[in-house]
């Protein structure tokens, strides 16, 4: 007796800084269920209890299986990079997971920069020394918690921890490994000499699996608890910015993705690795895309959606308001500002500028403010400044690649602000597309889970469409970018004397 073969169901889990999200979908990307749970963190947001982190992610997955009435045949896991925990020989965490935002390894990042050279490290690993890279974290452990480092059998990133909770096996993906500053991005192997700086070796690093290769399979007891299929393969799909870009269809050389959230990342793809010295001077990292074939250059802006949060908290008094109320009030102000440029120029640097032309001392500045400007103009000017900055990042990436991007795809939570997307399209000389799938990273993780079943990970593409910039004043915006924004942000920043006195002045210079 013949019957129709049951269509596979795929799950994607995204272990994010703020939320752990999960999606259940079909191989063509049709969403069957989605859920999220708050990512647990300490009071400062610098550490995550590993068990609670995994519980939040698995609760989101279980909520999806309950809503859909069936479990996944394969699970893909993506999430934040750099966050991770040391595990002992039994796979138990020796400390809470150290967040990418933890500043404590800063002195060790400076040690790496001073003793081993930022240029040499960037050439080998694709990333620049900073407190967030796990190599700096391991050096910090070596000094502050030597017994923990001695007992550490392996290191597990945030997504790796969730995959381990599902399978009992620790494994990772190259796009996570290349964020550690201990991975040779050209040879595709762990860098033994860099690991030795922290007293570690290759045997104490997680296995790095090929794209779409499972790290393990879900055991019977775990499958029953989650409503999943016993023996379902689990894939660590990779870094969330790249996995989201993949889901949005950014998969060929010459394409870029603009991943918009609290922070923002512009990811540009190429067939070959960029010029490392030029990329380093612009404060950008580079490595492989999630398919393992293409190269990507990544530029980050720490204050993108954070500008909107600052405005709502400080100027609208909405620090304790629900998210939807904050969004509604801000959107209404932006719409009240009318069409076209505001005439203000905002330097969108709440926490310094990472790229291009890195300048950690740069800060938020507003130029051209007059008595006739009110909160609506200022709200919209913040979006304009962030849009100019994103164009600048993509433009420099194009210069590094030898040609500007032919398309930039916008994705992430901030695309809900339609005026923002329209301004980005108006500012940019290239074709701007919009992917408004709310969980693109989850869909990308699910696509790579499907690869473990023999499915083509390029089959599902989250819908994207061109952004109409005609009503936003493209000529005026592009003129303002060239004649106002670039001259302002490339001139030396004004240094104001500190009210705290000479000691602070010296420290800030």
Which one, of 413, 405, 443, 420, lies nearest residue 12 by Cα?
443
Tell me whether residue 241 is exposed, middle or buried, using C-beta atoms within 10 angstroms of its C-beta: 0 to 12, 13 to 18, 19 or more.
buried
**Would strands 154-157 and 84-87 be described as parallel, antiparallel, or unpaired?**
antiparallel
Return phi, psi of residue 122, to 5°. -65, -40
Q: Are residues 131 and 182 in the same domain?
A: yes
Q: Are residues 45 and 180 in the same domain?
A: yes
Q: Are residues 169 and 229 in the same domain?
A: yes
Helix axes 418-427, 323-336, angle to 10 degrees: 50
Q: Are residues 156 and 285 in the same domain?
A: no
What whole-number distance in Å separates Cα of residue 76 and Cα of residue 60? 13
225 is a domain residue:
yes
Contact predicate 194/181, CB 8 Å = yes
CATH code assigned at 270: 3.30.420.40
Q: Per-residue confidence of the chain (509 residues) as pLDDT tens digits?
A: 344 567 899 999 999 988 899 999 999 999 999 999 999 999 888 899 999 999 999 999 999 999 999 999 999 999 999 999 999 999 999 999 999 989 999 999 999 999 999 999 999 999 999 999 999 999 999 999 999 999 999 999 999 999 999 999 999 999 999 999 999 999 999 999 999 999 999 999 999 999 999 999 999 999 999 989 999 999 999 999 999 999 999 999 999 999 998 889 999 999 999 999 999 999 999 999 999 999 999 999 988 988 999 999 999 999 999 988 999 999 999 999 998 999 999 999 998 999 999 998 999 999 999 999 999 999 999 999 999 999 999 999 999 999 999 999 999 888 989 999 999 999 999 999 999 887 899 999 999 999 999 999 998 778 899 998 756 589 999 999 999 999 999 998 765 554 443 333 222 22
**Whole-number pLDDT of residue 218:** 97
459 is a domain residue:
no
Domain boundary residue, one of 243, 261, 279: 243
The residues, ordered by sequence, that sit 6+ positions from 191 with a Cβ below 8 Å of its Cβ are 124, 125, 182, 183, 184
Q: Are residues 32 and 110 in the same domain?
A: yes
Q: Are residues 39 and 111 in the same domain?
A: yes
Q: Which helix (H) or strand (E) holds 155?
A: strand 154-157
Angle of CA points 434, 436, 442, to nearest 5°? 120
Count the alpha carbons within 13 Å of 336 in the hemisphere toward its beta carbon. Answer: 13
Contact predicate 294/271, CB 8 Å = yes
> pTM for this one?
0.91
Contact predicate 311/264, CB 8 Å = no
CA dihedral 12, 415, 361, 404 (to 10 degrees): 90
What whole-number distance in Å separates Cα of residue 79 and Cα of residue 200? 25
The residues, ordered by sequence, that sit 6+ positions from 81 with a Cβ below 8 Å of its Cβ are 100, 157, 175, 176, 179, 239, 240
**Whole-number pLDDT of residue 507:** 27
Domain boundary residue, one of 185, 220, 243: 243
Q: How many domains does the chain have?
A: 2
Q: Are residues 25 and 102 in the same domain?
A: yes
Domain extent at residue 159 = 10-243
What whole-number distance in Å separates Cα of residue 10 and Cα of residue 22? 11
Q: Are residues 16 and 165 in the same domain?
A: yes
**Whole-number pLDDT of residue 348:** 97
Return the structure tokens found at 270.
Answer: 């190429």
What whole-number distance in Å separates Cα of residue 54 and Cα of residue 156? 12
506 is a domain residue:
no
Q: Are residues 312 and 219 in the same domain?
A: no
What whole-number distance in Å separates Cα of residue 377 and Cα of residue 254? 35
Identify the DSSP state of 78.
Answer: E
> What is the largest distance, in Å, between two alpha-carbon atoms of the chain?
87
What whole-number distance in Å separates Cα of residue 293 and Cα of residue 400? 19
310 is a domain residue:
yes
499 is a domain residue:
no
Q: Are residues 209 and 300 in the same domain?
A: no
Q: Are residues 229 and 257 in the same domain?
A: no
502 is a domain residue:
no
Q: Which helix (H) or strand (E) holds 58?
A: helix 50-68
294 is a domain residue:
yes
199: left (phi over 0), alpha (psi -120 to 50) or beta: left
Other Cβ atoms closer than 10 A to 6: 8
108 is a domain residue:
yes
Q: Are residues 27 and 134 in the same domain?
A: yes
Return the structure tokens found at 385.
Answer: 């400044």
Please count the residues of the chain: 509
């Amino acid at each position: 007796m013949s019957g129709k073969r049951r269509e596979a169901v795929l799950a994607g889990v995204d272990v994010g800084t703020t939320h752990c999200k999960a999606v259940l979908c079909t191989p063509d990307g049709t969403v069957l269920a989605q859920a999220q749970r708050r990512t647990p963190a300490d009071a400062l947001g610098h550490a995550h209890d590993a068990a609670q982190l995994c519980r939040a992610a698995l609760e989101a997955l279980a909520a999806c299986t309950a809503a859909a009435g069936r479990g996944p045949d394969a699970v893909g896991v993506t999430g934040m990079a750099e966050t991770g925990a040391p595990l002992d020989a039994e796979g138990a965490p020796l400390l809470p997971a150290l967040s990418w935002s933890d500043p404590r390894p800063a002195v060790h990042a400076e040690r790496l920069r001073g003793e081993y050279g930022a240029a040499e490290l960037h050439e080998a690993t694709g990333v620049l020394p900073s407190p967030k890279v796990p190599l700096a974290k391991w050096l910090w452990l070596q000094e502050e918690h030597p017994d923990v480092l001695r007992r550490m059998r392996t290191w597990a990133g945030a997504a790796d921890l969730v995959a381990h909770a599902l399978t009992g096996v620790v494994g990772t993906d190259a796009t996570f490994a290349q964020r550690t500053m201990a991975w040779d991005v050209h040879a595709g192997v762990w860098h033994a000499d860099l690991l030795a700086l922290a007293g570690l070796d290759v045997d104490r690093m997680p296995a790095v699996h090929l794209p779409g290769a499972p790290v393990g399979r879900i055991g019977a007891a775990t499958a029953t608890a989650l409503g999943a299929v016993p023996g379902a393969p689990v894939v660590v799909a990779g870094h969330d910015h790249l996995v989201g870009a993949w889901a949005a269809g950014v998969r060929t050389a010459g394409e870029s993705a603009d991943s918009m959230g609290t922070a923002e990342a512009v990811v540009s793809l190429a067939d070959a690795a960029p010029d490392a010295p030029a990329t380093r001077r612009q404060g950008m990292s580079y490595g492989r895309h999630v398919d393992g074939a293409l190269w990507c250059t990544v530029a980050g802006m720490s204050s993108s959606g954070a500008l909107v949060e600052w405005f709502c908290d400080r100027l609208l008094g909405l620090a304790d308001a629900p998210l939807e109320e904050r969004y509604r009030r801000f959107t209404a102000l932006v719409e009240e500002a009318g069409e076209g440029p505001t005439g203000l120029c905002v330097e969108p640097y709440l926490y310094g500028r990472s790229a291009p032309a890195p300048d950690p001392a740069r800060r938020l500045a507003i130029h051209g403010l007059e008595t006739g400007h009110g909160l609506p103009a200022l709200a919209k000017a913040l979006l304009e400044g962030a849009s100019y900055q994103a164009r600048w990042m993509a433009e420099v990436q194009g210069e590094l690649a030898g040609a500007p991007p032919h398309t930039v795809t916008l994705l992430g939570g901030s695309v809900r602000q339609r005026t923002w997307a329209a301004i980005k399209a108006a500012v940019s000389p290239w074709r701007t597309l919009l992917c408004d799938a709310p969980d693109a990273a989850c869909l990308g993780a699910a696509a790579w889970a499907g690869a473990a079943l023999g499915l083509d990970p390029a089959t599902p593409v989250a819908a994207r469409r061109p952004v109409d910039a005609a009503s936003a004043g493209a000529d005026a915006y592009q003129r303002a970018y060239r004649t106002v924004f670039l001259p302002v942000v490339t001139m030396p920043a004004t240094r104001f004397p500190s009210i705290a006195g000479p000691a602070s002045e010296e420290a800030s210079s």
